[in-house]
Amino acid sequence: MPRFPELPLAGFGFLTHFLWEMLQVPWYSGMAEASHASVVWLCTRATGGDVVILLISFWLASVTCSNRQWLLRGDRKPAVVLIITALVVTVVLEWLAIGPLERWTYADSMPIIPMLDVGLTPVFQWLLLSPVIMWLARRHMLGYTALLPCKPS
């Protein structure tokens, strides 16, 4: 069993979230006009935050099943906990960032979720990417365990 399931999760999380962050640039005010370097830097920072959310959600999910190897076994309950935790954290952070903290603003084209008053793309980000990230990390870890030398009987 891999000692640190967080590593492939964080690695695949970084790759997929960075791509998503870059793709959603048009839905944030001022990003389309910004320099390429500043957009890449902002998206890299946002991706770092996404990975932190992913890891915190993973650890909370691990607490619910008392095992950090749940991803390798394909357990569904902790996977749902991970997704729900990430969604709640994201909605709260988005609401704070566009509201009281005034960290960023949405472009007019951003679809807004009624009652939550947050953009749809950050919510879709976790609904779509979380299962993909968990699948990629699990496949990676299963490949790793398949390559371990056989133990003699």
Place of tokens 């994201």: 90
Distance between CA atoms of residues 99 and 114, nearest Å: 15
| Residue 3 confidence (pLDDT) | 81
pTM: 0.90
Residue 62's alpha-carbon distances to 2, 11, 53, 129, 147, in angstroms, are 15, 18, 14, 19, 25
Place of tokens 């690695």: 11
Write the pLDDT tens digit of every residue in 96-130.
Answer: 999 999 999 999 999 999 999 999 999 999 999 99
> What stretches in the chain show pLDDT beneath 50?
none
- Residue 96: strand, helix, or coil: helix
- Residue 19: strand, helix, or coil: helix
| Residue 58 confidence (pLDDT) | 97
